[in-house]
């Protein structure tokens, strides 16, 4: 799939992921059970960092500290690239099962270019999936959590990463944008 086409797939996937989840999540407490800060959107945006719990309309997502690797098992990046690995936990907080996709999330880095973003590596080649990664598609039952790595191929000289998610409704209207500044270890 060409790079420009995955944006369309991302939007379509988000629409499909949100189908059937009509009830808004209950307001979250200010801290999670593990002591992490819970962040909700205000005025269309929510900003957090690695370790914060982001409360969206339908689920929470918590990204751990990211790492940069030369390979993930036997998956190596293209020349001039490196792999950014982000461990995440996603928990369904809506009142129905929720279809999710790894392309629900993207990363961006410090660069003014319109090309300074990436989807998980499985978007262009599903054969790059390995154990430990968040599956390219999955269903979260009510209150179910799923953890795994999101693996992104980024330029070798890039830095300053954020992971993003934007709510998209069945009507194709967009909702809040969630931005997680990633700590890279």
The helix/strand/coil state of 51 is coil
Residue 20: pLDDT over 70 = no
Residue 14: pLDDT over 90 = no
Task: Measure the CA–CA gap between 143 and 147, rounded to whole angstroms.
Answer: 13
Residue closest to 100 by CA, chosen among 110, 109, 91: 91
Global pTM reads 0.83
Q: Where are the domains of the chain?
A: 3-181
CATH classification of 3-181 is 3.40.50.300, yes or no? no
Condensed to tens digits (0 to 9), the pLDDT of residues 24-63 reads: 444 444 777 777 889 999 999 999 999 999 999 999 999 9
């Amino acid at each position: 799939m060409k790079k420009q086409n995955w944006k369309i797939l991302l939007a379509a996937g988000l629409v499909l992921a949100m189908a059937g989840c009509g009830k808004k999540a209950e307001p979250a407490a200010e801290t999670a059970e593990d002591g992490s800060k819970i962040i909700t959107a205000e005025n269309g945006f929510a900003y957090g960092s690695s370790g914060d719990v982001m409360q969206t309309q339908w689920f929470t997502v918590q990204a751990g500290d990211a790492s940069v690797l030369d390979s993930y098992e036997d998956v190596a990046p293209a020349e001039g690239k490196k792999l950014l690995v982000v461990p995440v936990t996603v928990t369904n907080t809506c009142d129905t099962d929720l279809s999710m996709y790894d392309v629900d999330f993207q990363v961006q880095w410090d660069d003014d270019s319109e090309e300074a973003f990436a989807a998980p590596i499985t978007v262009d080649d599903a054969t790059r999936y390995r154990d430990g990664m968040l599956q390219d598609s999955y269903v979260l039952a009510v209150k179910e959590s799923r953890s795994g790595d999101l693996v992104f191929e980024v330029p070798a000289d890039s830095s300053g990463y954020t992971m993003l998610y934007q709510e998209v409704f069945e009507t194709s209207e967009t909702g809040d944008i969630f931005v997680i500044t990633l700590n890279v270890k």
